Amino acid sequence: MRRLLLVFLLLPIWSALASELSNKLDRLTPMVQVSDPNAYSELVKLTPAISQASPGLQIRWYALYCNAALSSESLETVQQIRQKGLSLASRVKGGQLPPYLDACEADKLRLLGRYDEALTLVDESLQKYQSASALSVNLLKKAEILADTGELQAALDNIYQAITWLESDTTQPLYRPHPASISYALARIYFYLGDYLRSDTLFTEATQQIPASTTLGWIIRVNRIYTLMQQQRFQQGRQMMEALQGQLPQIDGDDQAQFHLLYAHLSLKVQDFSKAFNEASFAAEGFADFGMHERQARAWSLMAEAAFEQKQFEQGTLNLGRSRAYYQKVGDQNILTDLLRIEAVGLANQGRYQQAFAVQLAYQQEFAKQQNRMREDALLQQQTQLNQKLEQSRQAFSEQSAQYFEIHSQLLFWQLAAGLSALLWVFLVLFRLSNQTNNNADSHKVTRIHWKDRLEQVLAATDRSLPVVQIQWDSGELSESDKKRILHRDLRAKDILMQPESNRLLLLLPDASEAEGERLRYRISRHLANQGYRQISSGVARSHPLDRADSLLARLECNQIQHSLMHSVTPIAERNQQVMK
């Protein structure tokens, strides 16, 4: 009796402590999302309380704890956290935690440049765990790994799949990445693809989602400067660097060194050679402290170029020799070619024009070879991708052939059965006539099943996303003349038209952009309005590789509502009447 009374007395205290601990985790979650350097130490302070907490709070703490350790702790620490978290998940059957821990360790391996290990870990996790939250977090990490290794199209496919799973996840995830980090990942991929305008747009979107005072916000803004430099917007980039320099003492050492290297490169572009030399010196010292020798050698090359421009030829020759010795050792021909350009600048500034001309000529020859190699690599990569797509098409064709053969066999069986039971047709005709209303409903259902199956087949057969347009109206069936006009004037030969209902069209546009889908939607809606159709609503959605018919139609309905609100179409005749009134 005393024990029971004690439990009742302590129960409110335990509940209050659990509520307080949950509130602390709520407060620390946004700190982890924006890579706040204090988040890890704050989570460490909660270790004694977590050991006595409920399994749900412990699982949540481990998900935050591992992600907070990424930027400040070693790989061994992250691996220890993962092993302890997996042990807890096996004891309390917390199946939601392991994929988060796998993605966390894979991200740390990626940051260390161990891409094969990271990719293997993510692929194993994707095979084991099939929940929406598990797929989204691991597909996002896989996209970042593929982007770092140069497989950009695969990275883009994975990140859009991750976004799709994030949007479809109806559960409460343990940890959700900050929206700015997703925009940042997309911006990086488009930058590597050479689409600098779209990359800059995504970087701008990311900066609007997160303040500059956070570590992640600072990193995003620094990386945006690369896109500004590619667009020759050097002065704007310099202004951003000056604004971001005040936060530098709060940033990790390796990020500080990378900042100095970028600032040196930008200063060379605006011909501030003294600033370029100083920033490159800071970068070389920082990279030396962290054993990042390749980056250190790159900083030496920028120091050499800045020194030559300032007529400090001894300093320039020294740093040029250091950088060349390293890149000859590792065999990086691209950087060695650029060092020829820097050497030619130094010789020209010393008045040794014949030697400068000879080195410049060697640079141009090597640069031409480098461009040829890049073109050959690009063609090889395109050929590889084409072979992969052909193999996927063959597999899809094989599957469809098997399906068609099965359907043909079934049709043959029913034809034979129909021949043997010809007398039953009279009864069936009479039965259909007497139950016309029910039969019409059944026929409509079969029609719906047929077009939805066709949509599923198209989505399964394509290996890329494609725009889908839906148009609907409330004023009767589409006339044959209007249907022919749409088929022959608005659609291409490879476009697919489906008519699920008499007042509804579904248009699939392979190898088209979303902007082309928008133009087609507007053009057909305007034509139907001019022909007297009423209450026209339309929408455009882009399918994703993992889309099913239901998910695509749901997005179309959402987009259709938006378009109907934004672009309601009024027939020209009605508008003229209104103007006359």
pLDDT digits (tens, 9 = 90+) for 71-82: 777 788 888 888
Count helices and strands in the chain by DSSP H and E runs: 25, 4
Segment 38-42 mean pLDDT: 85
pLDDT at position 444 is 34
Work out the mean pLDDT of the chain and round it to a whole number: 82
Q: Facing residues of 541 across strands?
A: 468
- Please give the CATH number for the structural domain made up of 13-172: 1.25.40.570
More confident residue, 200 or 573: 200
Residue of 115, 116, 161 whose CA lies nearest to 137? 161
Dump pLDDT digits (tens) for 202-261: 999 999 988 888 888 888 888 889 899 888 888 998 898 888 888 888 777 778 888 999
CATH for 465-580? 3.30.70.270
Q: How much of the chain exceeds pLDDT 70, in percent?
A: 89
Structural domain boundaries of the chain?
Answer: 13-172, 465-580
Out of 89-103, 223-237, 381-395, give the one with best mean pLDDT.
223-237
Q: What is the pLDDT of residues 491-526, one digit of tens each?
A: 888 888 888 888 888 898 888 888 888 888 888 888
**488, burial (CB in 10 Å: exposed 0-12, middle 13-18, buried 19+):** exposed
Q: Which are the contacts of 151, defined by CB distance < 8 A and separation ≥ 6?
A: none
Position 533 scores a pLDDT of 86
For residue 233, the 8-state DSSP code is -
Cβ atoms of 486 and 568 closer than 8 Å: no
